Structure 1
Amino acid sequence: MNMNGPVKISRSERLQTVQEIAVRLQEVYKESILAIGVYGSVSRGTDGPFSDIEMFCVLDESREDVEFSYEWSAGPWKAEVNVLSTDVLLKTAATVEDDWPLTHGPFFSPLSLYDPKGFFPTLKKAAETPTKEDFTQAINGIIVGEMYEFIGKLRNVSLNGPHTYLPYLAMQFAQYGAMLIGLHNQRFYSTGAMVLPESLKLPNRPAGFDNVAKLVMSGELSEPSKIVFVCENFWDGLTAWAAEHHYVIHSERIPF
């Protein structure tokens, strides 16, 4: 049977393609290459028959700042190669952003294909440098920048509609709630597909989060009153959790 898009490929075939890409990168960037590595499911050995390929190509510090990606489909498979200069990658690894629990795992355990100067251990050290204050700032940013906004939208939609927006809001509450929990525990999620189930195994979860996450995972998002109830309950739990851990929701009336 013909199939559009990705087709089943064995892990050995995928690793062979990875090596071919690495050879081509060395032909293109030659002595400028400091390291080449694989991340994502391929590096963890959890890639499935339809998984794509994700790679780093690190250029040495003699280059100007470089940060771009090759992303393409060859028909039966897809690949993404992030080409970054050393300084850019190290700075990125040391930064804590909203999605840190999902994006920064690769900095700790890439599958090395080429690393003659031992760059990947240096990358891991850079990823370990963020302080507790860095995580606190990221958490404060999500609570005010995302969760506070979501609860306002939820209340508007509850009053005025359209109720068709509520399932999306429930998913946002669950996703960003999971990011808060990951940041608070300074723990990574293995992959996007596992964010919610893995978040439910972490400690110090705000009250009400579990019900939002389980509702979203169940896919039973057709009852507006239920969505509003679980999201409001989570918001109440989140405000109490923030106070308990000294995260900031409210500031001065005008803080500047």
Structure 2
Amino acid sequence: MNMNGPVKISRSERLQTCQEIAARLHEVYGEKILAIGVYGSVSRGTDGPFSDIEMFCVLGGESSEPVEFSHEWSAGPWKAEVNVCSADVLLKTASTVEGKWPLTHGPFFSQLSLYDPKGFFSTLKKAAESPTKEDFRHAINEVLVGEMYEFIGKLRNVNLNGPHTYLPYLAMQFAEYGAMLIGLHNQKLFSTGSMVLPESLELPNRPVGFDNVVKLVMSGDLVEPSKIVSACEDFWNGLVDWAAKHDYVMNSKRIPF
């Protein structure tokens, strides 16, 4: 049977493709290239038969405009993405903490280097290690207000007025961003998107009610509206207590500016 989309490819074949992409990058960008590396599951050695390829192409030298774009394509049996960035752009991104830091910043800590004559990836790791506790606190405050407060408002609206078909999605959002908060609080990275929820359950200092929402989502038990609403409300109450305990800010002046 012919299979559309990704097909089974061995790790050795995938690594060979990475080398071919790197060779093409050298042809296109020449002496501007500071470093080339692979990140994601391929760099960790956890890639599966259908995994895609993710790479950095770091450009150095003097440039009047910062460079930041991606080549992303499917070759039929496999898919690849190459992030082409100026060194200063990548270093700034690595040193910034935002709401999904526990999921997005793993690539800055570990790459499979294909070309790095000046040791750029070591510098990148140091940049990723540079954020302060206050940087993490600020990111947590933003998630609490920007996501979690918004989700509980939506949940209460839907519970009153419908449509209840939106509740499973909201439960997943509560679980995902709750996991991000716990990762940020512990300054821990998740290994991959598929492991965010189970790995979050292994971290300490989880708000009361979080585990129940996550277990509902992981089990797929998202049919009964009242059960979803009750679980998310319990988690919200636990989150309010958790924020107060750790001095995170959820409320401000009526108009703070």
TM-score range, shorter chain: over 0.9
Deviations 1:65-103 (A, max 9, x none): 100000000000000000000100000000001110001
Partner-residue secondary structure (3-state), 2:47: coil
Structure 1 residues 32 and 81, CA, compared in 2 at 3 Å: closer, same or farther? same
Q: Distance in 1 between matches of 2:218 and 2:62?
A: 47
Q: Distance in 1 between matches of 2:69 and 2:76?
A: 22
Residue in 2 that maps onto 1:184? 185
Residue in 1 that maps onto 2:49? 49
Residue in 1 that maps onto 2:79? 78
Q: Please say if residues 61 and 87 of structure 1, whose CA atoms lie closer than 8 Å, have aligned partners that are also in contact.
A: no
* CA positional deviation for 1:220: 1.1
Residue in 2 that maps onto 1:97? 98
Q: Distance in 2 between matches of 1:73 and 1:179?
A: 30
Residue in 2 that maps onto 1:122? 123
Give the alignment's TM-score, normalised by structure 2: 0.99
Residue in 1 that maps onto 2:40? 40
Residue in 1 that maps onto 2:16? 16
**Count of equivalent residues:** 256
AA partner of residue 75 (structure 2)? A
**Structure 1 unmatched ranges of 5 or more:** none
Q: CA RMSD in A?
A: 0.6
Deviations 1:46-75 (A, max 9, x none): 000000000000000423310000000000
Residue in 1 that maps onto 2:205? 204
Deviations 1:183-224 (A, max 9, x none): 000000011000000000001111100000010000110000
Partner-residue secondary structure (3-state), 2:222: coil
Q: Distance in 1 between matches of 2:214 and 2:67?
A: 38
Deviations 1:92-140 (A, max 9, x none): 0000011100010110111100000000000000001111111001000
Q: Distance in 2 between matches of 1:100 and 1:125?
A: 16
Q: Distance in 1 between matches of 2:255 and 2:68?
A: 37
Residue in 2 that maps onto 1:231? 232
Residue in 2 that maps onto 1:214? 215
Q: Distance in 2 between matches of 1:228 and 1:187?
A: 29
Percentage identity across paired residues of the two chains: 82
Mapped pair 1:111 → 2:112: yes
AA partner of residue 83 (structure 1)? V
Q: Distance in 1 between matches of 2:62 and 2:119?
A: 17
**Structure 2 unmatched ranges of 5 or more:** none
Partner-residue secondary structure (3-state), 1:227: helix
AA partner of residue 90 (structure 1)? L
AA partner of residue 237 (structure 1)? G
Q: Please say if residues 39 and 56 of structure 1, whose CA atoms lie closer than 8 Å, have aligned partners that are also in contact.
A: yes
Deviations 1:201-254 (A, max 9, x none): 001111100000010000110000000000000000000000000000000011
Q: Which runs of 4+ in 1 moved over 2 A?
A: none
AA partner of residue 91 (structure 1)? K
Partner-residue secondary structure (3-state), 1:36: strand
Residue in 1 that maps onto 2:195? 194
Give the alignment's TM-score, normalised by structure 1: 0.99
Q: Distance in 2 between matches of 1:52 and 1:163?
A: 36
